[in-house]
Structure 1
């Protein structure tokens, strides 16, 4: 190659590089802004977008990214101004129309948002984003059937649409279908691991965290076959959330009647969210002047989710009686199979008490709005849900239990159960319980 030809080729390559560089730079700028949005660093996204627009002020993609970043930081007027300008230039862009509808949702203009989502579907009938938006609106309005229909239509178009998966999961959660709900929510988290709403919903996809603030009045009666006076318990409890519902607490107080006398006691239960897929149960009860019930009791248990559908736990209880203290170790396993919750629980207590080993197997059926019915069978001492703490001192017996926990007229709580224990050569007893309450 002669020198003239070599210089000509070098010049051509330099010109091509110069011409290509602005496009490459713009593409990199768009990608930087997009990655900042995905990471949730909206302030950085705004700064990057503004910097990119100084060199290319007419770039529609970067302007749209800037509008999204403004909207995510609550600067809705600025976001809407950019969207209006973009829509005047691109009136048939479904992505712009859908985001306009989202902005109207955040402004609480649900009717306007619905009209805008439907306009997006007119422009692009196969818009999964628009269908997911209509699903959200239906859910917020309490129309869960329509929310499921729109969400599933969106998933037919895009099986990995995280928003539609999330909405199906939240609706199923409200319906009591914890098994399938956890599956949908887990998939949404896999697709968008940095989305805090998705992660929070999955962490709270257990029955207790679905509940709102509640107040309960409870009563319990236990009748014995040997003619002794009935045992009675009366209690008042309040359930509430702390730290944006990352912990549920139950403050309780009550009186127990035994052998012609009575004991007063107070307690606190806490259910904190722990690490990924785990939550705790802490129960502290005190009755300093007690003659019949334990003077103190502490229970600590950790529940861990496995494969989204299964749950195991390990716990320790220490109970103080007049004659000494008793330690108890507990393990359990359960599964979320749709609305069904089969579970097994085994506990072992100190060798110097009458009942060392207890096992029980149960089944719950969840319904909409956190209601459920349940039944269990076992041998040893009754479950803590139906029995009294001091029952560990009694001889082991077979027991069978059944109950319900229902919400009627939306927020009125009615809970009841019956428990029967019997053993050869030992006293039999039947316990009844009734709880009424209200949730806020």
Structure 2
């Protein structure tokens, strides 16, 4: 009888182990819901000491560390999980998100694109792919469901030069730019540029600056200003305000208003845009309605199609049709336009990229313009 009682006493704790393990994970979940991430991490670490093979707890710990702003500490956990289950889309998604928050969007895309191949209908994967691409293709912030997961800030500098060749007796144009952008997927982004352009034998110089403000997980506000101190053909200043909304299924919608002040006239523009990200593609359309003082209301259409390869490298097509304003000498003119260009950005490694653009632009009966632009971009 004594042996029976002793055996039952020893067997009881063993039989309770699965229930206790579940209780630990459930407690950690409750702590996460209460935003007690420190406590949740401690609970999971203690649990994994006794249950080192519990993949669910390890996966939850990886996410907690990323949410606490420690994505680099989450990455070894994802490596361990993926060694056991290399085709687990949830693990690949978590790894990609952690890499993005760690400021490594190119590496993030490798994991995310693998996840998209395994689970093509997984909406969260497509959303994070969109965020990773936006992190380096434009100064647009991205947001996530958990706002307590700050990402590392990424800075980029680009030096570029452009040459335009004009016919109809017009002098060729030249321009140089120094662009800077600072982005953070859950925080404030900002950007600026110094520029100088030569047209009609004269040089203009100026500066631009803007910011991207995440209002919540779906809305962003983007103000921008530009100023040229002594312009000959460029505007004296411009101000732009853009409001963007993230929509389901990889769609984005945006509206912007812009005012441009020249020495002799004023231009106001309303732009309505729609974008769609899917697989390795991005498509966009913009309707431009412009009010030129004493010169009518031109309407133009911009189309864009980008293909991403090798992470964040991409090649894109741009098409413009409709009416557009342009500067001829110091006079603002409005005419029909047809423009077609190819552009791209090729990342040599995680820090250096080459940018390029070639195009053809017909400004009504005034002139035809062809151009080539080359740039070198550095991320740090």
TM-score with structure 2 setting the length: 0.70
Q: Which residues in structure 2 correspond to 1:353-368 (within 5 Å)?
A: 353=295, 356-368=298-310
Aligned pairs for 1:14-413 within 5 A: 33=27, 36-42=30-36, 70=39, 72=41, 84=49, 86=50, 94-95=53-54, 99=57, 133-135=80-82, 149-152=86-89, 163=91, 165-167=93-95, 174-175=109-110, 184=122, 186=124, 202=128, 205=131, 207-210=133-136, 212-241=154-183, 246-351=187-292, 352-353=294-295, 356-380=298-322, 393-413=333-353
CA distance in 1 between counterparts of 2:198 and 2:75 reads: 58
CA distance in 1, matches of 2:59, 2:26: 26
CA 1:182–1:204 in 2, change beyond 3 Å: closer, same or farther?
farther
Note closer, same or farther for the CA distance 1:187–1:339 as it changes in structure 2 (3 Å cut).
closer
2:362 pairs with 1:426: no
Q: Retained in 1: the 8 A contact 2:339–2:361?
A: yes
Unaligned runs of at least 5 residues, structure 2: 1-19, 101-105, 138-153
Q: Distance in 1 between matches of 2:25 and 2:73?
A: 32
Distance 2:242 2:122 in 1: 27
Decide which structure has greater helix share: 1
Cα shift at 1:271: 2.4
Distance 1:337 1:101 in 2: 27
Name the CA shift for 1:182/1:296 in 2 (closer, same or farther; >3 Å): farther
CA distance in 2, matches of 1:358, 1:209: 28
SS in structure 2 at match of 1:410:
coil
Point out where structure 1 has 5 or more consecutive residues left out of the alignment: 1-25, 44-68, 88-92, 115-131, 139-145, 153-161, 189-200
Deviations 1:384-435 (A, max 9, x none): 9xx99x9974422211111111111332121111121125633111122111
Superposition deviation, residue 253 in structure 1: 0.7
1:289-319 superposed Cα distances (whole Å, 9 cap, x missing partner) = 2121011011211222221321221111110
Pick closer, same or farther for the CA change 1:268–1:391 going to 2, 3 Å. farther
Question: Quick one: distance in 2 between partners of 1:178 and 1:98?
Answer: 21
Deviation at 1:110? Answer: 9.3
TM-superposed CA distance for 1:173, in Å, is 5.8
Q: 1:348: how far off?
A: 0.9
Q: Which residue of structure 2 aligns with residue 3 of structure 1?
A: none
SS in 1 for 2:87: helix
Q: Give the number of equivalent residue pairs.
A: 325
In 2, Cα distance between equivalents of 1:304 and 1:392: 33
Question: Contact conserved, 1:332 with 1:346, CA < 8 A, in 2?
Answer: yes
What is the Cα-based RMSD across aligned positions, in Å?
Answer: 4.4
Distance in 1 between residues matched to 2:325 and 2:279, nearest whole Å: 24
The aligned counterpart of 2:13 is none
1:5-30 Cα offsets, whole Å, 9 max, x none, are xxxxxxxxxxxxxxxxxxxxx9xx98
Q: Is the 8 A contact 2:109 2:132 kept in 1?
A: no
Residue deviations 1:87-121 (CA, integer Å, cap 9, x gap): 5xxxxx843x764798799798999969xxxxxxx
Report which of the two structures shows the higher radius of gyration computed on alpha carbons: 1
